Amino acid sequence: MFEFKIIAECQITGARAGEFVTPHGIIKTPVFMPVGTLATVKAMSPDELREINSQIILGNTYHLYLRPGMEVIKKAEGLHNFMNWKRPILTDSGGFQVFSLAKLQKITDEKVICRSHKDGSLLEMSPEWSIQTQKILGSDIMMCFDQCCEFPADHDKAQEAKNRTTLWAERSLKYFKDHCDENLQALFGIVQGSIYEDLRIKSAEEIINLNFPGYAVGGLSVGEPHQDMYKILDLLKNILPHDKPRYLMGVGYPPNIIEGIARGVDMFDCVLPTRNGRNGTLFTSEGRINIRSKIYEQDFSPVDPECDCYLCKNFTRAYLRHLCHCGEILSARLCSWHNLRFSIRLAEQARENIINGTYPEFIKNFYAKFHDSKINN
């Protein structure tokens, strides 16, 4: 049921346009995937997500395990039915919480013991727990349980996390093969190793040997300089299997998407579009803007004249600034709507240019307009 094929490839950069067949539809890559942590993409309805052409969304295994709980998901017959989303879903493994909840846990090769951020109750997470939970969720794409390293981390600590990630990948795969249907769900392996090239190479070799249908690069966009991220992606571009999808986890800043695609990445996700949107920060073709700034008080132009989203086609910067300053719920909805559409459309434009053989020119045109200084306006 799962098949990935490359439609076109940039001979200069290695950027790929592909199609990934899943039980809930074909995903055209490159693709940006909105994050729906608690079975909802914040501020967006399923109809609105379809309108902005969200091909696939994410769910969070750890958070959904706590709320609403697996008994509710079982009775709903899976996450797709529960949230009325009929397109593909990817679930993370809960492994990122090993990183983000570090102060609350004990990590061993066997499992992670932590306390729920919700009520303080004791929770044990393991590769088997993760795959069992993701099976109940019924996502199209599961992720192996892994350990993400903070930045900076010394070589020994990064190696320990890399070794544990491989061990947990082996156990995740075994449980998957013993209990799951590979025609209904696909399990992706994750490459770790922080910014250390030797660890990344070793991790990639170990995970590739397990023969997953797709591979993710984890442990980036955790505070390291962008150039370090690109260095690791350059390294892995020639190591990861060419004929399988590649997923850069947790990365959604527009230049990072552009550069990731140029290094052979097919899939991206990030909370940045909705989180920034709730704070009044928007992505535009000319860079980021803070719509709360006084300079937009009487600016009756669209947020981004080049954008095709509902906000940009119907409202002005002045009106959006007014909503933000009044604390209106509509401001968070419109800003999130725009940022998500911007990110999804960026991947769509990249795909179109890869197919047309013009991706290097697309990169140049992007950087000619997109400037970080816009955030200070």
In the chain, what's the furthest Cα-to-Cα distance? 62
CA–CA gap between residue 362 and residue 202 (Å, rounded): 34
| Alpha helices by DSSP H, 180-240 | 197-208, 226-237
- Could you tell me the CA-to-CA distances from 91 to 3, 42, 119, 287, 327 in Å, in that order? 19, 16, 23, 30, 32
**Residues forming the active site:** 92, 269
| Beta strands, E only, the chain | 3-9, 16-22, 25-29, 31-34, 57-59, 89-91, 105-107, 112-115, 122-125, 141-143, 186-191, 215-217, 246-248, 267-270, 281-284, 287-290
Q: Is 312 in contact with 338 (CB distance < 8 Å)? A: yes
| Nearest residue to 284 (alpha-carbon basis) of 268, 255, 305 | 305
Please give the single-letter amino acid code of residue 12. I
Q: Is 145 in contact with 110 (CB distance < 8 Å)? A: no
3-class SS of residue 260: helix
3-class SS of residue 348: helix
3-class SS of residue 287: strand
Provide the 10 A C-beta neighbour count for residue 298.
10
